[in-house]
Amino acid sequence: MDQEVFNALKEILQPYEPYMTVVHDTEDHYYLDCKKEVRKDMPMFFASVRVNKDDITFQLMPVYAYPELLTGINPDLRMRMQGKSRFNFTEKNVAVLESLKELTKQGFERFQAKGYVE
């Protein structure tokens, strides 16, 4: 089940690959940085998915930078939040994944509007 959840979370991020730098792409870690540097030699982190011992983590930097993106999100998605930008998963839930997909899209659009994404 871990691989199924990981793959479902990774699929949320894959449409943004053309605009990003893929830093990690392994069976248990997928990581995207924005191509544009925010400081010298330091790209802006966008998102990642990582398999941990007890769960799978989806981290989304736009919600850290713009917490108002979280206003009105699916309550089941909010329950998976740990910290300001991290969501933990142990199982696949289609409704929650759809909410996360929409949140990721909004985050990408916000980063694009701010010039972090070309």
Whether residue 33 is contained in a domain is answered as yes
Whether residue 55 is contained in a domain is answered as yes
User: How far apart (Å, rounded) are the C-alpha atoms in residues 51 and 112?
Assistant: 28
pLDDT at position 40: 76
pLDDT at position 63: 97
Instruction: Find the mean pLDDT for residues 95-116.
Output: 96
Please give the residue range of the domain that contains residue 86.
2-113
| Overall number of domains in the chain | 1
pTM for this one?
0.94
Instruction: List the one residue out of 99, 102, 118 whose CA is nearest residue 38.
Output: 118
Tens digits of residue pLDDT in 4-35: 999 999 999 999 999 999 999 999 999 999 98
Whether residue 118 is contained in a domain is answered as no
Are 30 and 24 in contact by the 8 Å Cβ rule? The answer is yes
Whether residue 31 is contained in a domain is answered as yes
Sequential DSSP letters for the chain: -HHHHHHHHHHHHGGGGGGEEEEEESSSEEEEEEEEEEETTEEEEEEEEEE-SS-EEEEEHHHHH-GGGGTT--HHHHHTEETTTEEEESS--HHHHHHHHHHHHHHHHHHHHTTS--
Whether residue 13 is contained in a domain is answered as yes
